[in-house]
Amino acid sequence: MDTYDIYNLSLSNDNFNFNKLEKNKSYLYQPNKTDKYSSVEQIVDYISHYHIKKRNKDLNNDPIIEFSVIGSSNTFTNIYDKPYYNDNNIKLYPEFSIITNFDDNECQLILTNVDNDTYKFKEFDTQTEINLITLSKYQNIAFNSSLYHGFNNLLNDNCSVLSQNCLLINIWNTRKSDIPYFLPDNNYNYNNITINNNKYSYTSTTNQCNDYVTDFFDYLLYQHICRFKPDSKINTSLYKITFNNNNNGIVKKAIPHKPSHKPSHNNPIWNNTFICYNMFPEWMCKWFVKEFDNIRKEKQDMLIDNISNIHSNFTCFFPHIFNEVLYFYSVPKCNVHVYDVNITKLKDKSSIDTPNNNNNDDTSNLIILICLKTSNLNNGYIAVNTNKYNLKTGYMLAIHCKNDISFHNVTDDDICMKIHVKID
C-alpha cells in the first residue's frame, strides 16, 4: 500500500465559484490561454502543478489536466473509476488523481490496493490492508486512481450526502477527446488569489479487522457495504485497517485469466456479475428518460428502435459498452449480437425473463442493465440470485442470463435500459 501525504491548502480568499460547476461534469484545464484566468482555473492550476512537480519523472512534458466537482456518499462507491479508451480501444487510467475537500464537512476516502484483475477474479487473499483518509476543509491528497477506492462515512457522522463538495483532478499523459475545455464566463471571479500547499503532519492509527478478507471485499466492492466498525471514533487523518484472516477456508473454483477462444456459456467466467459505476453521466440519463416520457403515453416499456432520437444517437455508445463488458469478463475478440434494447419503468418484485442458452456451447447470453432514473430514497436494488446491487442513476450491471434477476423496493419513477446481447 502506498504511503499517502496530506496537504493543507491555504487561499487568500475563498471566492472561487465552485458552486457554479455542475457536479460530476468533467472539464479540461486550458493552459497558456490569452484570457485572464478565473479563480477556479487558478486553483486547479496550482494544485495540479504542485503534485505534477513531485511526480515529473513519470509524466509527459505537457500532461493533460481534467477536473470536476464531485460529491460524497455514505456508502462505498467507486466514484472516480473512469477509465478512458483511446482510438485503439486500449483502456487507460489517469497517471494519478488528486482530491481536495472544499466543504466544511469532512471527506472520508477508502483507498485499496485492489486492481481490476483482482476485482474481476476475486483473488483477495493477498490483500493485507486498506487506508481510510479523512480530509478536512482545504486538505488534499494525491493517489493512484486505477485502484479501487471511494467515499465512505465509516468513522463518524460528519459526512453530508447533499452538501459535500470536493474537487477531483485527474492527470493524464493522453489527450481526452471527449472532454470539453473549461470556458468560464463573466460571472466567475477573476481576482488573483494567493495559494499555498503545505504538508500536513499526522499520526496514523491501525486497527485489525477480524473479518475474513474475502468476505470483507465481497461486501465492500460488490454490495457497497463496509462491515468493519472501529472500536471508537478515531481522531486522525489516516486510519489503517489490517486483516487477520487472509483465507476463509472456502475452496473456490479458479476462473481462468486467459479464457478459451470460444466463450462457452458454461465457462466459469460468466458466474460473476459486474457493475460499472457512472457508466452514463446524469445529463445523458435525463435525456433518455425525457425522450422516453415524451412518446411512451401509457406504455411501461419501449424498444429504442421506436424512440427515434435515442436510437439515432445511442448506437454510437454500443462499442464502449461492449468493450467495458468484455474487458470485465476477460473475453477476447468475438462477435456481439444485440437482440433488443428497451427502456422500461420498473415494477417492484418483478423478474426479468431471461432467454435460455441454446445447445450451442459456443454461445452466451447476457443482460446489460443501465439505471436511467432512480429515487435513491427507498433502498431499491437489483437481486441477482441472492446478491443485491443498489440502484443508482448511471450504473450499469452485466449479468449472465442463467441467473435469476429481479427488482426490489422500486417505484414507478425508477427506469432502466435493458440490453440483451448474445456473444459467440
Q: What is the pLDDT of residues 150-184, one digit of tens each?
A: 877 665 544 444 456 789 999 988 777 678 899 99
Query: In 92-125, which positions are buried (b, 16+ CB within 10 angstroms) versus exposed (e)?
Result: ebbbbbbbbbbbebbbbbbbbbbebebbbbbbbe
Domain ranges across the chain: 6-245, 268-423
**pLDDT reported for residue 149:** 85
Tell me, yes or no, if the pTM score tops 0.75.
Answer: no
Q: What is the CATH number of domain 268-423?
A: 2.60.120.620
Those residues with Cβ within 8 angstroms of residue 415's Cβ, 6 or more apart along the chain or in another chain: 289, 292, 343, 344, 345, 346, 371, 372, 373
**Grid cell 425525457 in the structure block, residue:** 290
**Residue 18 near residue 170 (C-beta atoms within 8 A):** no
**pLDDT reported for residue 259:** 41
**pLDDT reported for residue 194:** 93
Alpha-carbon distances of 347 from 177, 180, 374, 415, rounded to whole Å: 39, 38, 12, 9
**Residue 372 near residue 415 (C-beta atoms within 8 A):** yes
Residues of the chain with pLDDT under 50: 1, 79-80, 157-162, 247-261, 359
Query: Is residue 155 classed as helix, strand or coil in its secondary structure?
Result: coil
pLDDT digits (tens, 9 = 90+) for 304-321: 888 877 776 676 677 777
CA 97/CA 172 separation, integer angstroms:
9
DSSP state of 348: T
The β-bridge partners of 195 are: 11
Task: Write the burial class of residue 153 (CB in 10 Å: 0-12 exposed, 13-18 middle, 19+ buried).
Answer: buried
Biggest alpha carbon–alpha carbon distance for the chain:
70
Q: Which CATH class is domain 6-245?
A: mainly beta
